[in-house]
Chains A and B, each alone.
Chain A
Amino acid sequence: MRLHIWINGKEYTDEVDAGMPLLEYLRSKGCYSVKRGCETSNCGLCTVWMNETPVLSCSVLALRAMDKRITTLEGLQPQAEEFGAFMAKEGADQCGFCNPGFIMNVLAMEKELQDPSEDEIKEYLAGNLCRCTGYAGHLRAVRAYLGRNKN
């Protein structure tokens, strides 16, 4: 079936299978930051933005993205690098496998919530699982990143 879509600002038209998840389509276009971490819509690793809204690309059909604008980490390199520096400074990473989905959701949260409290940050990011760390470093990095322009 025909799919028309924008990925990181670039327009594509392709024939896709009816059941193809958006995740697989994006990977076929070279967006390898988009990864599968679970089979149950629980881990958040596959997070991308669909018209600026964070969604689970493992659970959305590619055809559901018809005429929509998809953003992956590849399309947000400067922002990802800036936040990544805060993660490194706080020693938040271990294996780093969860990073792409986590960064996509942190950047979505930054756009959506005004000056979020710690509880609001935890709630917004609750759907991003990390199996190595205890999230403490992640949280320090997020707080420092969000507060970077305050002084």
Chain B
Amino acid sequence: MLTIKDYCLAESIQQAYELNRKKQNKILGGGIWLKCCHFPIQTAIDLSGLGLEGITETEEGFEIGAMTSLRQLETHEGLNACTCGAVKEALRHIVGTQFRNCATVGGSLFGRFGFSDVLTLFLGLEAFVELYPTGIIPIGEFAKMQPDDSILTKIFVKKDQGKTAYLSARNTSTDFPLAACCVSWKEGTLTASMGARPAKAAAFSRENVCLEDLEKEEFLEEFARDAAASVNFGSNRRASAEYRNYVTKVLIKRCLGSIKEGDR
């Protein structure tokens, strides 16, 4: 149940930031996660009047406003073409269409949730985030920071994504993922972003990898093993740490398989 005393449709990002510095005030993205948190909010700060909704394609990449819905991302043809459909694959399993029409990319990333498909995806895409007042930083750096009173305004995704694949595993359709991976091969560097462990997504990279390496079973085994060994897995009621570790390696190998297939 969402308890809100006051509501402010912010007129500037500066105003939103000043209000957000007070602990009891909260930025309102889609409000779906906030609704599940049972703390009273003094002032809900609505960013929807600040032109932060939508995706702009530039020559180098995509500029995504923090208030863009997950559904807008999922159905964006340009983004999906550049990421070999990884964006759609990451988002299409999240609850339902109506839900994804409400949840925003800003709210999804800002929480840095341990179950997040969205953070796993954007970490794999080596995105950048624009924070007010900090400025633009790599998402890997952002993922390691604790949520504070800054405001996430934009996300930047470069067009030269190389080859990308995304996969997740769920106990049941529309549930939270128990493992999620985004694997990319770009200019000889292979990167695996691993989320839902359940811990904030983290990435592992190996340089000097050529596409022929992906033909070798031993290479796939070794990369998946080393990537999984570089992060911690935990247990909760969805899965044990051992199971997550095992499934993550399987997902990485399947992603590598589709990167390889995509090249043929």
Contact = CB atoms under 8 A, between A and B. Distances in A.
Interface stretch (A40-48, A70-78, A80-88): A40-48
A44 B96 contact: yes
Contact of A18 (B6, B32, B97): B6
Given A54-B97, A126-B96, 20 more contacts: A21-B2, A41-B102, A47-B98, A55-B101, A56-B99, A56-B102, A58-B35, A59-B30, A59-B31, A59-B35, A61-B28, A63-B46, A66-B9, A105-B98, A108-B97, A123-B92, A126-B97, A126-B173, A127-B96, A127-B174
Contact of B98 (A17, A39, A127): A127
Contacts of B1: 39
Given A18-B4, A19-B3, A123-B92, A60 B36 contact: no
B123 interface: no
A126 B5 contact: no
Interface of A: 1, 17-19, 21, 39-42, 44, 47, 53-56, 58-61, 63-64, 66, 105, 108-109, 123-128
Contacts of B7: 1, 18-19, 61, 63
Contacts of A56: 32, 98-99, 102
A44 B44 contact: no
A55 B5 contact: no
Contacts of A123: 92, 97
Interface residues of B, number: 28
Interface in B44-61: 44, 46, 48
A24 to B, nearest CB: 11
A127 B31 contact: no
Given A18-B6, A19-B3, A126-B173, A61 B31 contact: yes
A55 B97 CA distance: 8
B139 to A, nearest CB: 25
A38 B191 CA distance: 39
Interface of B: 1-7, 9, 28, 30-32, 35-36, 41, 44, 46, 48, 92, 95-99, 101-102, 173-174
Contacts of B46: 63-64
A112 to B, nearest CB: 8
A53 B101 contact: yes
24 contacts: A1-B7, A17-B4, A18-B6, A18-B7, A19-B2, A19-B7, A39-B1, A42-B95, A47-B98, A54-B98, A56-B102, A59-B102, A60-B102, A61-B7, A61-B31, A63-B9, A105-B98, A123-B92, A123-B97, A124-B97, A126-B96, A126-B97, A127-B95, A127-B99
A61 B44 contact: yes
A40 B174 CA distance: 13
A18 B5 contact: yes
A55 B102 contact: yes
A39 B31 CA distance: 13
Nearest to B44: A18
A44 B97 CA distance: 9
A55 B102 CA distance: 6
B5 A19 contact: yes
A125 B173 CA distance: 12
B99 A41 contact: yes
B4 A61 contact: yes
Contacts of A127: 95-99, 174
